[in-house]
Amino acid sequence: MVLVTKLTKLLGIKHPIIQGGMQHIGTAQMASAVSNAGALGVLTALTQPTPELLRQEIRKCREMTDNPFGVNMTFLPAINLPPYKEYAQVIIEEGVKVVETAGNNPGDYIKMFKEANITVVHKCVAIRHALTAQRLGVDAVSMDGFECAGHPGEDDITALILLAKSARKLNIPFVASGGIGDGRGLAAALALGAEGVNMGTRFMCTEEAPLHRAIKEKMVEADERSTALVYRPFRNTARIFKNDIAVQVNQIEKNPNVAFDDIKDLVAGVRGKQVFTNGDPEFGVWTAGQVLGLIDDIPTCEVLVNRMVIDAESIIVDRLANMVRQ
C-alpha cells in the first residue's frame, strides 16, 4: 500500500513527508537522503554563504538523487540583509521544482517563483498568515504548531487547533508541521485534514543528518520537556534545546528592561553552528522541537520514512477503519 494525497501528487513524491528547511542542516547530504527515501528533501538556501555556493549545492544534490527535492528560502529581518533576490534567481536558473518559503513579506519572491512555474509551499504559524499566502498564489501551506522548533509565532496555538481550523478555512492543500515524529503523528495529521507532514527536528536525528553524533545522542536522551522559549520579550519567540545557555537567557529576559544586547553574545549564531560540529550541546543555542519526546533512536532516513508510512497505514486501515460499524 501507499498513501496518496494531494501533496504526493503536487510534488511528485512517493510519501507525504517533507523535510523542512533547517539552518546548517539542509545540505545536499541531508536533502538527497530524504528524497531517496521517497519523501521531499529540502536544501536550506541561507546555509550556503553565497548564492553561487547554493548553485553548487543544488547541482551536488541533483547528482545524489534522481527524485524531487526543494529549496527553503526564509526571509527574516536583519541589519545586513542577505542578497535574497540573488539566491532566488539561482533557484530559478537551476530549475528547482519546489520552493519552501518562510518568514516576512514573501510576496515578491512568491511571484518570482510562480512566474518560473515553481511549486511554492509557504510556512505559516497562523491562519491569517495562511490566508494571505493563499491570496498570494502559493500552491500549499505548511502550518507550524506551537510545538515546533524555531519560530512558532506569538499566538501559542498548538497543532491540534491550527490544523483543524486550516481544514475549515483554506482552499489549498496544507501540511502539518511541529510535533510530528512518527506514524501516529502522520495519521493524525491526515485525519485533521492535512495532506502530509513537514518534519525538522526528527530528521536531525537520523544517520545522514550532518551534525555531530553526540548531539543526536543528546536528542535521544531528551524528552518533551527539553526545550525552552527565548526572545519572547522581543516578540520573536524561538523554541530551542534547553541547555545551560537557554536557562541563562531566560533568567536575563525576566528583567522588564531587557535589551537584545544583553543576550546577543550568548545566542550568537556562530556558537550555535559549532554545536553541530564540535558535539558540545552546551556551547551555543540550537533549535529543537517538543517532538524530542518521541525520538528514541537514530535511524537512516529510509528506515524512518518507511516506518512512519507503514505505521500510519496500519493505524488508518486496522485501527480507525475497524471503528466504523453499519
Q: Give the pLDDT confidence of 192-210 residue by residue, as tens digits.
A: 999 999 999 999 999 999 9
The pLDDT score that the predictor gives to residue 101 is 97
Give the span between the Cα atoms of 293 and 312, in whole angstroms. 19
Residue 64 in domain: yes
Residue 151 and residue 226: Cα distance in Å, rounded?
A: 16
Same domain, 244 and 125: no
Q: How many CB atoms lie within 10 A of CB 181?
A: 23
C-alpha neighbours within 13 Å on the C-beta side of residue 176: 30
Range scoring the smallest mean pLDDT among 21-25, 78-82, 83-87? 78-82
Same domain, 41 and 136: yes
Number of domains composing the chain: 2
What average pLDDT does range 5-20 have in this prediction? Answer: 98
Distance of CA 250 to the CA centre of its chain: 24
Q: What range defines the domain where residue 55 resides?
A: 6-211
**For the purposes of burial, counting CB atoms within 10 Å of the CB of 77, is it exposed (0-12), middle (13-18) or buried (19 or more)?**
exposed
Distance CA 98, CA 70 (A): 5
Strand residue runs (E) in 180-272? 197-199, 227-230, 238-241
pLDDT-based confidence at residue 326 (cuts at 50, 70, 90): confident
Same domain? For 42 and 123 the reply is yes
Among residues 12, 55, 1, 57, which one has the least CA distance to residue 183? 1
Per the domain annotation, does 1 fall within a domain? no
Mean pLDDT calculated for residue range 288-299? 98
Question: The domain that contains 204 carries what CATH number?
Answer: 3.20.20.70
Per-residue pLDDT tens over the stretch 128-152: 999 999 999 999 999 999 999 999 9
Spell out the alpha helix ranges (H) of 120-195: 127-136, 159-169, 183-191
Which pLDDT does position 76 carry in this prediction?
82
Q: What is the pLDDT of residue 173?
A: 98
Residue finishing a domain among 211, 241, 272: 211
111 and 33 belong to one structural domain: yes
| pLDDT tens, position by position, 152-191 | 999 999 999 999 999 999 999 999 999 999 999 999 999 9
Q: How confident is the model at residue 78 (pLDDT cuts 50, 70, 90)?
A: confident
Instruction: Give the separation between CA 24 and CA 39, rounded to whole angstroms.
Output: 20
For residues 222-235, give the mean pLDDT: 97
Examine the domain organization and report whether 49 and 136 are in the same domain: yes
Confirm if 181 and 163 have CB atoms less than 8 A apart.
Answer: no
Q: How many CA atoms lie within 13 A of 260 on its CB side?
A: 8
The answer to whether residue 33 is domain-embedded is yes
DSSP states along 98-132: EEEEEES--HHHHHHHHHTT-EEEEEESSHHHHHH
Residue 20's pLDDT band (cuts 50, 70, 90): very high
> Where is pLDDT greater, at 280 or 81?
280
Whole-model pTM: value is 0.96
- Has residue 269 got a pLDDT over 90? no
Are 255 and 194 members of one domain? Answer: no
pLDDT value at position 1? 73
Between strands 197-199 and 174-177, the pairing is parallel
How many whole angstroms from its chain centre is CA 68?
A: 17
Evaluate whether residue 302 is within a structural domain. Answer: no
How far is the C-alpha of 161 from the C-alpha of 297, rounded, in Å? 29
Q: How confident is the model at residue 307 (pLDDT cuts 50, 70, 90)?
A: very high
- Answer whether residue 68 is part of any domain: yes
| Cβ contacts of 145 within 8 Å, gap of 6 or more | 152, 157, 158, 159, 160, 162, 163, 176, 177, 178, 179
Residues 100 and 163 in one domain: yes
**Residues across the chain:** 326
The reply to whether 166 and 242 lie within a common domain is: no
Interacting residues of 48 by C-beta distance below 8 A, sequence separation 6+: 54, 56, 57
Query: Is 313 a member of any domain?
Result: no
Q: Stretch 25-43: mean pLDDT, rounded?
A: 98
Residue 135's CB is within 10 A of a number of other CB atoms, namely 9
